[in-house]
Each structure stands twice: as C-alpha cells, then as structure tokens.
C-alpha cells in the first residue's frame, strides 16, 4: 500500500514539473516566407518513388535521372551558388508508405520542396498534407488532373506532364479524323488515369466507342477484358494503362487471336520496357518483344532514346555519361532529367533568395514561358497549375516513334486542339543549364 | 492487479507526454504509427497467444476500421468528434469480427489460418468493386478536422509548443493504446482471460470445467477485432487515407511477425514488435544511405534486415524479445 502512494506521488511530481516547464501564452510573431531546407550553399529537395515492389521496374530509374542532372548542375556551380541535394524515399507504390516517407522528408530531412513525387494513388495521399504544411509540391510525376485544375484548393501543387484528359482529347480527335470507321474499344486502368483519358476521348469519339473494359492494377489476368473487346467487334483498342498491362494485353490477345490496331497512351508505351516485360511474362516465348509493338500508335511529349540526334538527347547523354549511375540512359532517366531541368528553371525564377511561397509565385508568373525539352509549353498561371499543354501522335516502328502529326496543343474541356510547333524547336543552352531571369 | 495496471497506465501517460514533447515532429509521427501498430498487435497477441487462434486476417479488420473512419471524415467542417468516429470504427469492426469469429470458432489451426487468409485477400477487393462509393484503387482521402481551439490553447498553455496535427494524432494514438492495453491486461487476468487460456491449453478439460468453447473463442476474436478496428481508424487518420493497397496480406503478416518477434501472448512483446515495425525500416534505410549505398539498395536493405532479425530472434529467443529479456532477468536473479 505504501509503495503505491509513493509511486503516485512520484508520478504526480513528475507531471507537475513537466507542466511547470510550459509557457502559459503565445508570443506574437509575424510570418515571412519560409526558407526551410535552404542554406547559403545548399538547397534540399526530396521525393517519393517506388524503388521496390511491382511498380519499381522503370519508375525506379526516374530518380537516378534527377540525381544525374542535379550533379551536373552542382558541378557547374549550382543555382545561385547553392548545390541541390535530392533525397529519395521508397514508398513501394503503397499510399500508406507514401504518407510515412513524406512525413520523414518534410519533418526529418526538412526539404524545401517535394519535387516529382510519383503516382496518382500514392501522391493523392499526401497532397493535402503538403499544401497544409505549405511545402511546394512541384511537378508531380502523374498526369492526373487533380494536381492542377483547382489551384485555389492546392496552391502549392503543380503538374508537369500533359494531363490524361488532354491526351484523351488529342488521341480521340486524331482517331476521329484518320480512322472514322474504326470500332473503338477502351482498355482503361480503373482510376483517375483511365477516367480522365476516357473523358477526353469521348469528347470526339463517343459514337465510335463500342466497348469499355477496365482492369484493376495488381490483377494480372486481363483475358476477360480482351475477350470482351473481341466479342464487341473492336478493331481499334485505345489503352490508358501502365506498361505491364501493355505487355499483358499484347500477350493475351495473341493467345486468343484478337488482332486489332492498338493505340496506347504515352504512359504505357515505352518500347524498351514493354519489350523486356513481354520477354519476362511470356517466359522467353517472345524473344524480340520490341518488334511486337510495330505499328502500335502512341503519343510523345519528350524526345526519347530512340532519337539520339535530338539536341536535348545529346545533352542528356552527355549528362548521363558524366554523372550517371550504372546502366544505360533510358526514357525514364530522360523523364527524370527533364523534370530536374524544369525544377532548376523554377529555382532560378524564384531569385537569389528563394522562399517556399516565392517559388510558387515565380512558377505562376513565368512557368508558361519556360523553354525546355517538352514539345509543348506549360500552362502554369495563377488559375491553372496543369503541366504541358500538348503532345504529338506517333507510330512505333522498330522501337522508334515516327511522328504522325505535328505537336497538338489544347486544354481541358472544350478548348480546341491546335497545331503548335513553337515549343518543339526549343534548343538547350550550350552549357546545358537553363538561364531564367528572376520574376519581378 | 487492476490497481497496478492503472498505476502503470498513469506512468505510461507521463512518459508519453515527456517523450512526445521532447522529440521532433517526425519522431512524433513515428510514435503515432507505433501506437496503432501496438494496438493491433496487442489485440492479435491476446487472440493468438492467449486463446491459441491464428489470424492472418487482421490487416483486413484494420481496413474495416480505416474505411469506417474515412467515410465519416469526407468533409472538413461537419464531422463528428474524433473519439466518436473511432468508437464507431470499433463498433463496425466488432460486428464484422463477430461474424468472422462465429465461423472461426468452428475451425482449428491451419483451417482457421486459411479462412482468415481468405478474409485478408478478399477485403481489399471490396473497395475496388464498390469503386463509386469507396474510392476504388485510389482509396478515400481523410479530411482531418481542425484541432479544437480550446484543446490547442490548453496544450500550448501547458507545454509551450503549438499542438500540431501530428503531435495531436500521436497523443490520440497513445491515449487509445494505453486504454486498450489496460483493458486487455485486466481482461487477460480475469475469469474470461483464464477461460481463453484454458481453451487454448486443453479443449476437453476446458469443456469439462464448464467452459463454452465456442463462446470463449468468439469472445476472443471479437475483442481482438475491436482492437484491429481502432488501429485501422488511427492508421487512416495518420495516413490521411484509406486505400486497398495499404491493407494487403502483407500487413496481416507484418502484424503477426511483430507479435512473434515481441513474444507471443505478451503485451510488452506487442509494444516491442510495434516499435520494430515502425523504426527498423527507417533506421536501416538511413544507415544504408549513410554507408554509401544507392537509394534503391538502401530501400532493399530494410526487408532483408527485418528478415534476418526475425530469423535470429526465432533461433536465439524463441519466446520473443520480451520473453528472452524476462528469461535473462530471471537467470541473472537466480545466479
């Protein structure tokens, strides 16, 4: 009994002491722009990527592209004397992990900004948190509309690649004009990706679409979907799907004797990755996977490794040779370097003393005029944080994309589709580092 | 006994306050995660260790709690208070747990594992099927309500720090964990807990002693499910999301491994296991990066080390870390 009293007394004493260390009231203070993550010589940024797990093939190469380009910039003096540190965390494409590693990036690593966090389901888990914490959330690696179509609600978030709705519109318009008699079937991933793509395509193709088949990521049996499209008499499949489902749909349709024309969205069409996946999924039965994609149509907004003579590709090759990790330059690394290039532009636009609020403002003011590797300009303004405004339609032959159209540019809703090659001619600066003047 | 548990709880509360106030926001978030893992592991260790039922479906039960919570937090303004929402999450999961428990009570060993395994595989498919309502693959975003002003002010008055959303959730998690652990500890030392152990040790003897086997098993399963539901609700709050990919079979297996690592049937063991689940991956990945590994290699290191630790614990301390420690203390005392 006595020991019990003694214990309670001790605890109470501890509690009172702890409470006495408190403050009593709040001090007054005012808010200047936040400079978390910035010192005179460094600026720390971070991102979440799937480095392990099902989504890792391909996507895990993107951060190595970022790193190579930042190393290149740092070796040339950095941005305004600051070296860029890029911290990558693995979320294994699991939104619960994304939330944990984002906590770690923001609170423990104290990053200035999230740059190019990857994935629609994963990033949507943290987008509210980043905006509440006022952490710039730049150039998300996903084409979902939610990063940019409502900047009042998510003022710190910016998209980067063309969103899935305008991709759907451009694809739909092209099919309407060039294959007006095709019976179109949609093969969709069952999330924003498929939904936004379908919305865009239906704007032009509503009366040509005869069947819609959806798949859930993770379920690797797509035979029912392919059989459904075949039974509906489809002769052109539009796929808004990820690369592994391009490979699966090709293999299954081969098996059931389904031979339509194929049109895959940009996301699912990387010939090198799909080729290697085909070889793996078919357990060696398909040896030359890339050639299976001959005649497949897709869209393109960045020049890739199939165009080694493009001036941007020459720059990326040089950067990769000088600062890259092991392995060859791939389209995913090019994607990462291109995002890194845009980030360096944004950082320059934010001026010599960047703040979190300042960089957002600078992108809204100047982002629309950033010249970069993308074939179409960004749509960044105070009213839209959506990324690139267009792409071109290409046909894959021998692993190389051949242009079927000039660059087509549009926006959400009923904005018209226009030909606009103005941004496609942008050349990289001779030293490979952008030179954006600070916003006024 | 009850008094001792309450005193321990009070001590735990003081420790929690001191730890949370003196660690960084990021550690707060990790402690928050540890709290919900501890609650789930505590429920599981009572079910498996005390009553001898093996469940591979606790991840799915957590999903039930998480989705219940997420459904009630769809708008920031007019939502119920968080404790009420969590209580509802527990109730819904209790109901699901009772249904599963009735089926489970008829099954033994591998058959029970199989049935709960089916639960773990099937439940993540439900939000995909009802995509319109439950958000499909992308899941449901949770809109956390603002911290009540009086609470924020009171916390600032006492501690001198702003009560951030993350610290608030960590407190909520640990308050819940302390309450759950006191209840579980009392329960397992009560008549009901002794009944559960009797059923585990010898069914025939237990039945001869007048214990209703089925009822004891369902009781244990329901209690354990309630813990999983609460843990799921807290997880949804701190992840700000309930999505199917967060509740795969992996989660159920991780919980089980945490229970085994910590020490089957021991609540302290559940705490130790939860700590390992939370801190080991991050610490190992950090160490890997510091050693100069690439990000990909460092990310792959965490599961490897976790596996090695499991192998070592099973080999060297078959009663788990908590059990091994107790043995060591007893041995030191006797020698």
Q: Do B157 and A216 touch (CB under 8 A)?
A: no
Q: Which B residues 200-239 touch A at CB under 8 Å? A: 235, 238-239
| CATH 3.40.50.2300 corresponds to the domain A164-300 | yes
Query: How does pLDDT run across B111-145, given as a tens digit for each residue?
Result: 888 889 999 999 988 988 887 888 877 788 888 88
Q: Do A121 and B10 touch (CB under 8 A)?
A: no
Among A121, A142, A145, pick the best mutation site for testing chain B contact (most B Cβ within 10 A). Answer: A121
Which residues, at least 6 apart from A150, have a Cβ–Cβ distance to it below 8 Å? none
Distances (CA, A) of B160 to A21, A24, A61: 8, 7, 45
Distance from CA of B72 to the nearest CA of A (A): 17
> Alpha-carbon distance B298 to A84, whole Å?
21
Distance from CA of B155 to the nearest CA of A (A): 9
What are the tokens at B235? 């997880």
pLDDT above 90: percentage of residues in chain A: 60
Looking at per-residue confidence, does A172 or A100 come out higher? A172
pLDDT of residue A26: 54
Q: Do A52 and B239 touch (CB under 8 A)?
A: no
Q: Is the pLDDT of residue A15 over 60?
A: no
Chain-centre distance of CA B170, in angstroms?
14
Distance from CA of B2 to the nearest CA of A (A): 12
Q: What is the mean pLDDT of residues A244-263?
A: 92
> A24 in helix, strand or coil?
coil
Q: Is the pLDDT of residue A205 over 50?
A: yes
Place of tokens 């403050």: A23
Which residues of chain A does B127 touch, with a Cβ-Cβ cutoff of 8 Å? none
Q: Does B283 touch chain A (CB under 8 A)?
A: no
What are the tokens at B156? 């600032």
pLDDT of residue B235: 94
Please report whether residue B320 resides in a domain: no
> Alpha-carbon distance A381 to A231, whole Å?
46
Nearest CA in chain A to B140: A125
Query: How does pLDDT run across A347-389, given as a tens digit for each residue?
Result: 999 999 999 999 999 999 999 989 999 999 999 999 999 999 9
Q: Is the pLDDT of residue A13 over 90?
A: no
Please report whether residue B192 resides in a domain: yes
What are the backbone angles phi and psi of residue A237, rounded to the nearest 5°?
-100, 125
Q: Which B residues 9-38 touch A at CB under 8 Å? A: 10-11, 14, 17-18, 21, 24-26, 29-30, 33
**Got the DSSP string for A216-275?**
-TT----HHHHHHHHHTT-SEEEEE--HHHHHHHHHHHHHHT---EEEE-GGG--HHHHH
Q: What is the mean pLDDT of residues A12-27?
A: 53
Q: Is the pLDDT of residue A27 over 70?
A: no
The shortest CB-CB distance from B158 to any of A22, A107, A191 is to A22
Confidence tier at A3 by pLDDT (50, 70, 90) = low
Q: Do A103 and B29 touch (CB under 8 A)?
A: yes
Q: Do B143 and A22 touch (CB under 8 A)?
A: no
Query: What is the residue range of B22's domain?
Result: 2-249
Nearest CA in chain A to B296: A51
Element (H, E) at A401: strand A400-403
Apex B41 CA angle, B36 and B47, nearest 5: 135
Neighbours of B232 (CB within 10 A): 35
> Alpha-carbon distance A123 to B217, whole Å?
41
- pTM for this structure? 0.84
N- to C-terminal Cα separation, chain A: 74
> Alpha-carbon distance A203 to A413, whole Å?
9
> Alpha-carbon distance A36 to A358, whole Å?
12
What are the tokens at A128? 């509210």
Confidence tier at A16 by pLDDT (50, 70, 90) = low
Distance from CA of A278 to the nearest CA of B (A): 24
Closest CA to A296 of A399, A200, A222, A205: A399
> A209 in helix, strand or coil?
strand
Name the average pLDDT for chain A. Answer: 88
Confidence tier at B178 by pLDDT (50, 70, 90) = very high
What are the tokens at A411? 């926006």
Query: How does pLDDT run across B51-70, given as a tens digit for each residue?
Result: 988 899 999 999 999 999 99
pLDDT of residue A278: 87
The ipTM is 0.79
Q: Is the pLDDT of residue B298 over 50?
A: yes
What are the backbone angles phi and psi of residue A129, rounded to the nearest 5°?
-60, -45
Contact (Cβ atoms closer than 8 angstroms) between residue A364 and residue A381:
yes
CA max distance for chain B: 65
Among A62, A116, A125, A144, pick the best mutation site for testing chain B contact (most B Cβ within 10 A). Answer: A125
pLDDT of residue B179: 96
Burial class, B204, CB count within 10 angstroms (exposed 0-12 / middle 13-18 / buried 19+): exposed
Topology annotation, domain A42-162+305-388? Rossmann fold (3.40.50)
Q: Is the pLDDT of residue A28 over 70?
A: no
Please report whether residue B138 resides in a domain: yes
Domains A42-162+305-388 and A164-300 share a fold: yes
Element (H, E) at A395: strand A390-397
pLDDT of residue A30: 43
DSSP state of B49: I
Confidence tier at B328 by pLDDT (50, 70, 90) = confident
Q: Do A190 and B137 touch (CB under 8 A)?
A: yes
> Alpha-carbon distance B12 to A11, whole Å?
10
Distances (CA, A) of A50 to A63, A92, A122, A261, B300: 10, 4, 10, 32, 11
Contact (Cβ atoms closer than 8 angstroms) between residue B308 and residue B276:
no
What are the tokens at B314? 């099973």
> Alpha-carbon distance A98 to A49, whole Å?
9
What does the domain layout of chain A look like in residue ranges? 42-162+305-388, 164-300
Q: Is the pLDDT of residue A24 over 70?
A: no
Q: Is the pLDDT of residue B184 over 60?
A: yes
Name the average pLDDT for chain B. Answer: 89
> Alpha-carbon distance A146 to A27, whole Å?
38
The sign of the torsion formed by the CA atoms of B147, B152, B155, B161 equals positive
> Alpha-carbon distance B41 to B228, whole Å?
8
Query: How does pLDDT run across A42-82, given as a tens digit for each residue?
Result: 999 999 999 988 788 889 999 999 999 999 999 999 999 99
> Alpha-carbon distance A366 to A377, whole Å?
11
What are the backbone angles phi and psi of residue A167, rounded to the nearest 5°?
-65, -45
Residues in a beta bridge with A360: none
pLDDT above 90: percentage of residues in chain B: 53
Q: Do A192 and B138 touch (CB under 8 A)?
A: yes
> Alpha-carbon distance A351 to B45, whole Å?
56
Q: What is the mean pLDDT of residues A234-250?
A: 92
pLDDT of residue A29: 43
Contact (Cβ atoms closer than 8 angstroms) between residue A300 and residue A404:
no
> Alpha-carbon distance A102 to B310, whole Å?
27
> Alpha-carbon distance A201 to A193, whole Å?
12
Domain tally, chain B: 1
């Amino acid at each position: 009994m006595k020991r019990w009293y003694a214990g309670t007394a001790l605890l109470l004493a501890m509690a009172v002491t702890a409470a006495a260390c408190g403050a009593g009231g709040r001090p007054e203070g005012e808010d200047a722009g936040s400079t978390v993550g910035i010192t005179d010589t460094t600026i720390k940024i971070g991102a979440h990527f799937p480095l392990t797990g099902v989504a890792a093939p391909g996507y895990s190469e993107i951060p190595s592209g970022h790193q190579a380009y930042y190393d290149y910039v740092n070796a040339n003096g950095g941005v305004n004397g600051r070296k860029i540190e890029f911290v990558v965390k693995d979320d294994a494409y699991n939104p619960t992990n994304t939330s944990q590693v984002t906590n770690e990036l923001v609170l423990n690593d104290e990053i200035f900004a999230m740059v190019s966090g990857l994935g629609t389901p994963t990033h949507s888990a943290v987008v509210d948190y980043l905006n509440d914490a006022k952490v710039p959330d730049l150039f998300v690696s996903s084409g979902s509309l939610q990063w940019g179509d409502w900047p009042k609600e998510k003022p710190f978030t910016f998209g980067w690649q063309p969103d899935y709705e305008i991709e759907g519109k451009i694809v739909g318009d092209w099919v309407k004009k060039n294959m007006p008699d095709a019976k179109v079937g949609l093969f969709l991933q069952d999330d924003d990706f498929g939904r936004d793509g379908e919305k865009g395509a239906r704007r032009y193709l509503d009366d040509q679409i005869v069947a819609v088949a959806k798949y859930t990521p993770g379920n690797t049996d797509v035979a029912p979907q392919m059989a459904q499209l075949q039974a509906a008499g489809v002769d052109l499949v539009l796929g808004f799907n990820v690369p592994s489902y391009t490979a699966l749909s090709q293999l299954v349709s081969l098996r059931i004797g389904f031979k339509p024309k194929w049109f895959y969205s940009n996301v699912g069409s990387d010939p090198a990755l799909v080729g290697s996946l085909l070889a793996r999924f078919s357990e060696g039965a398909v040896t030359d996977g890339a050639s299976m994609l001959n005649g497949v149509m897709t869209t393109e907004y960045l020049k890739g490794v199939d165009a080694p003579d493009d001036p941007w590709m020459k720059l990326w090759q040089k950067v990769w040779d000088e600062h890259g990790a092991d392995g060859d330059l791939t389209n995913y690394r090019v994607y990462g370097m291109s995002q890194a290039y845009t980030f360096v532009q944004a950082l320059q636009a934010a001026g010599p003393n960047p703040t979190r609020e300042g960089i957002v403002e600078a992108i809204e003011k100047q982002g629309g005029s950033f010249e970069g590797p993308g074939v179409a300009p960004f749509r960044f303004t105070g009213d839209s944080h959506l990324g690139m405004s267009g792409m071109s339609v290409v046909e894959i032959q021998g692993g190389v994309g051949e242009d079927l159209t000039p660059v087509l540019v549009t926006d959400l809703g009923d904005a018209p589709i226009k030909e606009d090659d103005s941004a496609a001619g942008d050349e990289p600066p001779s030293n490979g580092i952008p030179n954006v003047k600070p916003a006024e | 006994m009850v008094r001792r548990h309450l005193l321990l709880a009070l001590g735990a509360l003081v420790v929690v306050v001191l730890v949370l106030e003196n660690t960084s926001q990021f550690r707060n978030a990790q402690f928050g995660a540890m709290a919900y893992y501890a609650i789930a592991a505590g429920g599981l260790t009572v079910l498996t260790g005390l009553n001898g039922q093996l469940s591979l479906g606790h991840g799915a039960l957590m999903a039930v709690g998480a989705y219940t919570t997420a459904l009630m937090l769809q708008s920031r303004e007019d939502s119920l208070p968080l404790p009420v929402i969590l209580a509802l999450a527990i109730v819904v999961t209790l109901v699901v747990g009772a249904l599963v428990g009735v089926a489970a009570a008829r099954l033994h060993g591998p058959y029970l594992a199989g049935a709960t395994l089916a639960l773990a595989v099937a439940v993540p498919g439900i939000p995909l099927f009802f995509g319109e309502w439950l958000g499909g693959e992308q899941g449901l975003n949770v809109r956390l309500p603002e911290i009540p002003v009086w609470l924020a002010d009171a916390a600032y008055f006492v501690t001198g720090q702003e009560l951030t959303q993350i610290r608030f959730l960590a407190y909520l998690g640990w308050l819940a964990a302390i309450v759950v652990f006191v209840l579980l500890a009392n329960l397992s030392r009560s008549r009901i807990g002794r009944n559960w152990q009797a059923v585990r040790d010898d069914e025939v003897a237990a039945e001869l002693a007048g214990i209703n086997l089925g009822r004891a098993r369902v009781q244990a399963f329901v209690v354990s499910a309630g813990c999983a539901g609460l843990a799921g609700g807290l997880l949804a709050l701190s992840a700000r999301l309930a999505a199917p990919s967060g509740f795969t079979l992996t989660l159920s297996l991780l919980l089980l491994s945490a229970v085994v690592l910590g020490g089957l049937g021991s609540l302290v063991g559940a705490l130790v296991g939860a700590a390992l689940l939370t801190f080991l991956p991050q610490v190992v990945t950090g160490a890997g990066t510091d050693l100069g590994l690439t990000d990909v290699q460092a990310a792959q290191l965490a599961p490897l080390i976790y596996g090695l630790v499991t192998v070592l614990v099973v080999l060297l301390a078959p009663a788990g870390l908590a059990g091994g420690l107790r043995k060591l203390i007893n041995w030191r005392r006797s020698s």
